[in-house]
Structure 1
Amino acid sequence: MTFMMVLLFCGLNGIAQDFTKYEKGSFIKGKDSIFYRVLFPENFDAAKQYPILFFLHGRGESGNDNQKQLTHGAKLFLKPEIRKQFPAIVVFPQCSSDSYWANVNISTEANGKRVFNFQEKGKPTKAMQALLDMVNNFMDKPYVNKKQVYVGGLSMGGMGTYELLRRRPRLFAAAFAICGGDNVANVQRYQKVPLWIFHGEKDDVVPVSCSTIIADQLKVLGHPAKLTLYPEANHNSWDPAFAEPDLLPWLFSNRKN
């Protein structure tokens, strides 16, 4: 085995070993079930209370392997300095391949452009209902600080973030949405939740307008969100978003009264 191959093997092995810190879990309630991975703080003490963050992945990480949802974002919360500065419970649920986090109809035009028609109101999808039940279950845990509950996500998960916010607007202390979208009529439901929105201006998968209309409506309602647009970023705007030094300090600084 060459030296470079040894380095590659060790690097990949280190990543895999790190991800084992995310404990595997599942939640089943009647016909609703969902897999998740959860990272507990170092030196976790069940007698104490901790902030909790639910992170929603994109469409490409859907499935039932309880692994792919860790593709984007999971490394961030494993950084020693992050774990030390923000001792929080981080949950990565996984959306099944036959469902979607949000109520949205997606069509493709003749030129290949995708069009997102977000629904107003409506019943939750199978995946969203399971997610809601799972979130409620975590809220029953004595070690969860109910004044510090957060949600964030990217792409389909950004859309799911908005939907979760409108279905549980009083639960969350703050949220962030990366390259997501929602029906503008739903915004009033979560207008009082502190929100940071990210999007790449060259996004050719989810148009940047899907984010800017949310920000514009929040401004109209008198509760402007933080909005960060990346002029050169395409759909993977989560990369610069995760690199924002103020993201987690801002997120965890918000608390419910």
Structure 2
Amino acid sequence: MMALASGAQAEAGRIEERTLPYAPLPADLKAVDEIIKAALSDDFVAKTYTAPDGRTVPYRLLAPATVVASQPALAKLPLVVVLHGSGSIGQDNAGQMTGFAKAWALPDLRRRFPAYVVVPQVDARSADYASGGDGLLASRPGASLSAVLALVDDLAGRLPVDPARIYVIGFSMGASAALDALVAKPGRFAAAVAFSSVPPDRAQAAGVATVPTLQVHGDQDTENPYAPDHAWAEAVAAAGGAPVFVRYQGMAHRVPPDMILAPGWREWLFAQRLTPAVPPRP
């Protein structure tokens, strides 16, 4: 994965766009699989949350490996919310633990990016799809998303989490829900990373244009089409935002194996912070 600027967003009003070829060798894919196997799901503690609407949300929580008391900056850490695809819908509190989630427990990544990582599992879709105002596919919050957002609020209130560094990431349906979460919960998330999403209706982009987003999509994706995702980035840029968009040439519907383990996009993510609102002058 190419390096991403880890500091401020790119120039407002334009897309920071990258195009990469997708041509992994079988040996590369096998190597990624072997590394992921070293990350144990047991490092994620199994828990259950009951939302105000009565929905039960099984989830796994990864705590930072160490918190050094002599470093006050680590007193409050980021919270990373990892949302799964539709293939992991259920309530066994295991199906959501794909390599995309488990990678956060790898020793090097866990050391470089100390954070609380929560991986909820939903029993119904977190994002639904229909035609948007521009004729392209668009997402809207599914039946389970409000319970997931309530879980995030609960964890943010109970854990030593920095409220300015709560991030949401996801793949497929989870990526769509991640972008829907920005619209549904303005001011909660400092940034989002969406792999192969169906984004919200482009008319909603202006309301979240200030939230840093990184979108990754294969141009051969026939499950979640490429065009709506790019149209969302265009709408965000038109509203004054500065989205980052990575297109993989020749890739279908998946998370690029090189990005599962890559630190670059995580460095970008962890550099983003919510800017406190400035109260109006009397």
TM-score relative to the length of structure 1: 0.83
- CA displacement, residues 28-67 of structure 1 (integer Å, 9 cap, x when unaligned): 1352221110100113589931111001010111111101
- CA displacement, residues 172-227 of structure 1 (integer Å, 9 cap, x when unaligned): 11110111022111212211100000000111111111210111111111112000
- Once the two structures are aligned, what percentage of the paired residues are identical? 27
Shift of 1:142: 4.5
Is 1:224 aligned with 2:242?
yes
SS in 1 for 2:40: helix
- CA displacement, residues 117-137 of structure 1 (integer Å, 9 cap, x when unaligned): 534xxxx53311211111110
Q: Which has the higher contact order (CA 8 A, sep 6+)?
A: 2
SS in 2 for 1:75: helix
How many matched pairs? 232
SS in 2 for 1:229: strand
SS in 2 for 1:169: coil
Q: 1:206 to 1:139 in 2, by over 3 A?
A: same
Shift of 1:140: 0.7
Partner of 2:139: 118
Partner of 2:270: 252
Do 1:174 and 1:251's aligned partners in 2 also have CA atoms closer than 8 Å?
Answer: yes
Alignment of 1:59-138 (within 5 A): 59-96=86-123, 99-105=124-130, 116-119=137-140, 124-138=141-155
SS in 2 for 1:147: strand
Partner of 1:8: none
Shift of 1:239: 2.6
SS in 2 for 1:186: helix
Unaligned runs of 5+ in 1: 1-10, 107-114
- Give the stretch that moved more between structures: 46-55 or 205-214: 46-55
Alignment of 1:185-204 (within 5 A): 185-204=203-222
Shift of 1:18: 1.2
SS in 1 for 2:230: helix
TM-score relative to the length of structure 2: 0.76
SS in 2 for 1:175: strand
Alignment of 1:202-213 (within 5 A): 202-213=220-231
Is 1:40 aligned with 2:63?
yes
Q: 1:240 to 1:208 in 2, by over 3 A?
A: farther
Do 2:64 and 2:116's aligned partners in 1 also have CA atoms closer than 8 Å?
Answer: yes
Q: Which amino acid aligns with 1:214?
A: W
Shift of 1:75: 3.0
Do 1:32 and 1:129's aligned partners in 2 also have CA atoms closer than 8 Å?
Answer: no
Unaligned runs of 5+ in 2: 1-32, 276-282
SS in 2 for 1:73: helix
Q: 1:17 to 1:246 in 2, by over 3 A?
A: closer
- Give the stretch that moved more between structures: 80-89 or 47-56: 47-56
Q: Which amino acid aligns with 1:66?
A: N
Partner of 2:182: 165
Counterpart CA distance in 2 for 1:44 and 1:245 is 20
Do 2:139 and 2:180's aligned partners in 1 also have CA atoms closer than 8 Å?
Answer: no
Partner of 1:56: 83
Partner of 1:25: 47
Pick aligned residue for 2:257 from 216, 239, 244: 239
CA RMSD after TM alignment: 2.4
